[in-house]
Amino acid sequence: MFVIGREPFDRLGRRSIEKIFNRLGKCAGIDRKVYPHIMRHTTATTILQSGANIIEVQEYLGHCSTVTTQIYAKIDRESVRQSVRRHLV
């Protein structure tokens, strides 16, 4: 839970969190819109590219189906080729 930095210490609203992410993205030099949910996409993709399998990522993200997890995780063709070579050779 995120809270505001002054009293009363209420929860930050959705829009406030989105603004924070947008500012962080601009500071980091990211040219596209940055939003909280993109963290789930990035995390899923990074975990898969680091060698985890789709079932492990599904469990980590709390998805009921690997189909949902596949929507989050984007793998480039070169990564797929390298994986196939590693496992078939």
Give per-residue pLDDT as tens, 47-85. 888 888 889 999 998 999 988 888 877 777 777 788 788
Residues 6 or more apart whose CB falls under 8 angstroms from that of 80 comprise none
Better-scored residue on pLDDT, 6 or 17: 17
What pLDDT, on a 0 to 100 scale, did the predictor assign at position 80? 74
- Residue 80: Cβ within 10 Å count: 10
CB count within 10 Å of CB 58 equals 21
46 part of a folded domain: yes
Chain length of the chain: 89
Domain total of the chain: 1
Q: Is 20 a domain residue? A: yes
- 3 assigned to some structural domain: no
Q: Is the entire prediction scored with pTM above 0.85?
A: no
Tokens of 89: 């050779």
| C-beta atoms surrounding 39 within 10 Å | 11
Structure tokens at 31: 């040219």
**What distance in Å separates the CA atoms of residue 66 and residue 70, rounded to the nearest whole number?**
6
CB 3 within 8 A of CB 11: yes
pLDDT bin (cut points 50, 70, 90) of residue 1 is low
Say yes or no to pLDDT of 4 above 70.
no
Residue 19, domain extent: 14-88
